[in-house]
Amino acid sequence: VEVDGVVRRGFPTPTGRLEFWSRTLAEWGWPELALPGYVRSHVHRSRLDGDQMCLISTFRLPVQIHTRSANAKWLNEIAHTNPLWLHPVDATRVGVETGDLVRVETGIGHFVVKAWVTEGIHPGVVACSHHMGRWKTGDGPRQATATVALNREGSGWGIERKRGTGPFQSDDPDTSRIWWTDVGVHQNMTFPVQPDPVSGAHCWHQAVRVTKAGAGDSYGDIVVDTAKSRETFRRWLELTRSATQHSPDGTRRPFWLLRPVRPEREAFRLPAEAGNGGGTVADM
């Protein structure tokens, strides 16, 4: 790319340009995605059962940010709970109102949380703010952490909340002024690993069933089956296209793709026994 007579590197792509057609996708086994276009995700309405909804698990309240704000006491006072946002149409169908408990069932388990009925979300879609629901089984942080019982039976795991947070004495006098008890529900444990077949990035959104909580459900309950989680992970792996069959240069991934810490070029070479005889690492 030349700017005012000076050659510049341009964009971090093989051509140095903003690419409309991706040579990388075309040569690495995804030619149908080489041009921009709409791709129906795993939570597209056409791929959901009639009683399923899309859970936006990447949604978050504009107060907290992951663990980076976990010990910010003033932010914890402002936002310390993560109810399930639910459109009134869906709330009527489920039979709940704001504050009622709902069970959110994923492909590998479920969690129990309070409902927040609002027109601020689209019908057929629910959302639960992340970065909340921290837990411990014994002594540990108390400002934003619930104490739970961790149960296991075979491949099934369960979390039962014993108590939330509350005032306590410490070097910080503000800990004695904690007036709330809720710390949210840890929804992430009920999400199976869903690696995107092309990029490998985790596909966070979940296909869920939302029902009114049953007689045996309590706020903060979490149930997960790790065997189902492994099955789901394997199904997603089957959607990938192996580098041993599609690599244009005998490497395991395009060398030019950016990453925080990139190994030496030789680390990208596929082993000869993989069936392609290895190859020379190029700037593909």
Length of the chain: 284
pLDDT in tens, the chain (284 residues): 677 888 777 888 888 888 999 999 999 999 999 999 999 999 999 999 999 999 999 998 888 887 778 778 899 999 999 999 999 999 999 999 999 999 999 999 999 999 999 999 999 999 999 888 999 998 877 888 999 999 999 999 999 999 999 999 999 999 999 999 999 999 999 999 999 999 889 999 999 999 999 999 999 999 999 999 999 999 999 999 999 999 999 999 999 888 888 888 889 999 876 555 455 545 44
194-211: pLDDT as tens digits: 999 998 899 999 999 999
Domain parsing of the chain, residue ranges: 45-237
The CATH number of the domain covering residues in 45-237: 2.40.40.20
